Amino acid sequence: MIPERLEFLQSPDLPPAQLIELFSDAGEQLYLVGGSVRDAFLERPVEDFDFATSARPERVAHILERWADVVYEVGAAFGTIAARKDGRTVEITTFRDEVYRDDTRKPQVTFSDDIETDLSRRDFTANAIALTLPSLDAVDPYDGLVDLAARTLRTPLHPEVSFGDDPLRMLRLFRFQATLGFDPDSTAVAAVEAMGQRLEIVSAERIRDELTKLLLAPAPGDALRSLVASGLAERFIPELPGLAMEQDPNQRHKDVLEHTFAVVDKTTPDLVLRLAALLHDVGKPDTREFGPDGVSFHHHEVVGARMARKRLRALRYPKEVVEDVAELVHLHLRPHTLKLGWSDSAVRRYVRDAGALLGRLNELVRSDVTTASPRREGAIQRRIDELEERIAELSEREELDRMRPPIDGHQVMDYLGIGPGPRVGEVLELLLERRIEEGPYPPAAAYAMAREWAIEAGLPDPGPPPGTEEE
């Protein structure tokens, strides 16, 4: 009797049923394992299928050639062949045994002939359940089903052994705490506390990918708190534990670290936005000053943007992600500096500076409000409401998202008789500045400004602007 929630796994349209035929014809064992089994038991959507097999990687690749749309052999050295078929990803890994890793970044994999050994080398018991195919009987030597029911993350072997084999598993512990909402077992947490520095041998790319998955969980705050408390965050994102500043004597500001977790939880799970939420206040410890009026963090957004950029580069995030996050950190205080209401020019400048990040910036600013005082909360949210209304209002009257001067660089060059170069940029900057200050204005006024600029710069008077000279 197959549990009802697993029945879909037998569908002839899905990879398990299709692949078991191919593998048994080849005389090889094939099991469904890992996240797909776990998620099926949890009744979570299963999109990717993980398999374990007795077949060696070359053999797996050969079998998949006949079935898949594309086969990826990049992971073959570690035993994994991946493939895509009908929009789904499958990963088939040869049964593994020891993973040797003498402080080098590259693991040495040896293969095994049985599923039990393979399961013992997996990260957590909940991920170490195999299902036979096509009958779907559970192979569960480490009581993964018990831990699934208890919602616990436990390593199949002693955690020191598991984490020693692959220190990335320490980060995966908190990643799964975030994505599954499971609790890490206390012995596993103790092992992380004791051996966190082993994470140093793991590549930045692998760390980045786990951090990304952690941050895209519905509410990663609790997992982030555990990550910091365990000491592991210190190993790859020290800015975060750095936020645990002692309270200032007047209690004027909240614990910045707790505030950060709350802000992350409030934002929608978008990588750029979540990274910005995580890092938005990292400039605070370095800019903190105690003055007669209490504590201040002058220019923490500038310092923080620089720190965020540096950290995200070190974690090998793509350039666009790094720049977008740094820009959001840089701009996150902007609406608060405009307490006296929004002039048209202030709205234009805000829209111009935020550019494509406008929606995320507004959301970050809103999420940044974690005050316990409903009155203060309401006041700040109203300020952002007002800002958004003003943006909408102004967009109806003028093209806010494509603000540019009424004449372009070619027209400036033709008129002034100068070639391309920084001088053209200087004039355009001036013209754009007026566009932001005053809103749309006619080309003739722009030519007049260019003429004034030329005369002041000692260039020959270009004469009356085109279109205004007398015929």
Binding residues vs ligand ATP (CB under 6 A): 34-35, 48, 50, 122-123, 127, 166, 168-169, 213
156 binds, among Mg ion, ligand ATP, none (CB under 5 to 8 A by kind): none
The residue assigned the tokens 């598991």 is 162
220 touches Mg ion by CB under 5 A? no
Cα 420 to the center of its chain, rounded Å: 40
Output the six-digit token pair for 297: 């963090």
Closest by Cα among 85, 110, 88, 90 to 100:
110
Nearer of residues 168 and 427 to ligand ATP, judged by Cβ: 168
What letter represents residue 446's amino acid?
Answer: A
What letter represents residue 170's amino acid?
Answer: M
Report, in Å, the least distance between residue 32 CB and Mg ion. Answer: 12
Residues with Cβ within 8 Å of 265's Cβ and at least 6 positions away in sequence, in order, are 219, 220, 221
15 touches Mg ion by CB under 5 A? no
Among 15, 35, 144, 242, the residue binding Mg ion under the rule CB under 5 A is: 35
E strand segments, 120-244: 130-132, 138-139, 152-153, 183-184
Report, in Å, the least distance between residue 123 CB and ligand ATP. Answer: 4
DSSP assignments along 400-437, one per residue: -TT---SS-HHHHHHHHT--SSHHHHHHHHHHHHHHHH
168 binds, among Mg ion, ligand ATP, none (CB under 5 to 8 A by kind): ligand ATP
Sign of CA dihedral 43, 44, 46, 52: negative
Nearer of residues 33 and 273 to ligand ATP, judged by Cβ: 33
| Cα 28 to Cα 59: distance, rounded to the nearest angstrom | 10
288 binds, among Mg ion, ligand ATP, none (CB under 5 to 8 A by kind): none
φ/ψ of residue 290, rounded to 5? -100, 115
Report, in Å, the least distance between residue 258 CB and ligand ATP. Answer: 27
Tell me, by CB under 5 A, how many residues bind Mg ion.
Answer: 2
Calculate the CA dihedral of residues 59, 61, 67, 72 and round it to 10 degrees: 170
127 binds, among Mg ion, ligand ATP, none (CB under 5 to 8 A by kind): ligand ATP
Report, in Å, the least distance between residue 377 CB and Mg ion. Answer: 39
Q: Find the residue with minimal CB distance to ligand ATP.
A: 35
123 binds, among Mg ion, ligand ATP, none (CB under 5 to 8 A by kind): ligand ATP
| Cα 116 to Cα 154: distance, rounded to the nearest angstrom | 17
The interface mask with Mg ion, positions 45-64, x = CB under 5 A, is: ---x----------------
Closest by Cα among 38, 83, 36, 39 to 57:
83
Report, in Å, the least distance between residue 235 CB and Mg ion. Answer: 24
| Cα 376 to Cα 169: distance, rounded to the nearest angstrom | 42
Report, in Å, the least distance between residue 35 CB and ligand ATP. Answer: 2
Interface stretch with Mg ion, choices 32-40, 141-149, 289-297, 304-312 (CB under 5 A)? 32-40
Q: Find the residue with minimal CB distance to Mg ion.
A: 35
Interface stretch with Mg ion, choices 30-38, 61-69, 256-264, 315-323 (CB under 5 A)? 30-38
Nearer of residues 84 and 397 to Mg ion, judged by Cβ: 84
Q: Which residues pair with 345 in a beta bridge?
A: none
Question: Is the separation of the CB atoms in 128 and 142 below 8 Å?
Answer: yes
Nearer of residues 46 and 454 to ligand ATP, judged by Cβ: 46
Report, in Å, the least distance between residue 188 CB and ligand ATP. Answer: 13
Nearer of residues 52 and 412 to ligand ATP, judged by Cβ: 52
Report, in Å, the least distance between residue 87 CB and ligand ATP. Answer: 16
| Cα 133 to Cα 52: distance, rounded to the nearest angstrom | 11
Binding residues for Mg ion, rule: CB under 5 A, are 35, 48
